[in-house]
Amino acid sequence: MNKQESPLLFLIVGRNEPLYSSEFISNQKPTSDSITRQHYFVMHSALDLVDKFAFTYPQMYLKTVDKVNHQMVSVFLTASHVKFMVLHSGKGDDVLKQFFMEVYELYVKLSMNPFYQFDTHITSKDFDDRVRVLGMRYLL
* 55 is a contact residue toward other proteins (CB under 8 A): yes
Dihedral pair phi/psi, residue 6, rounded to 5°: -75, 145
Question: Judged by CB under 8 A, which stretch of 21-29, 37-45, 63-71, 106-114 contacts other proteins?
Answer: 106-114
From 17-25, 30-38, 50-58, 85-93, span contacting other proteins (CB under 8 A): 50-58
Q: Out of 81, 98, 132, 139, point to the residue binding other proteins (CB under 8 A).
A: 81
Residue 78 near other proteins by CB under 8 A: yes
Smallest gap from residue 126 Cβ to other proteins (A): 5
Q: How far is the CB of 104 from other proteins (least distance, A)?
A: 7
Q: Are 104 and 127 in contact (CB under 8 A)?
A: no
Is 139 a binding residue for other proteins by CB under 8 A? The answer is no
Distance CA 69, CA 58 (A): 28
Q: Do the Cβ atoms of 56 and 62 come closer than 8 Å?
A: no
Distances 133 to 41, 64, 110 between C-alpha atoms, Å = 26, 23, 17
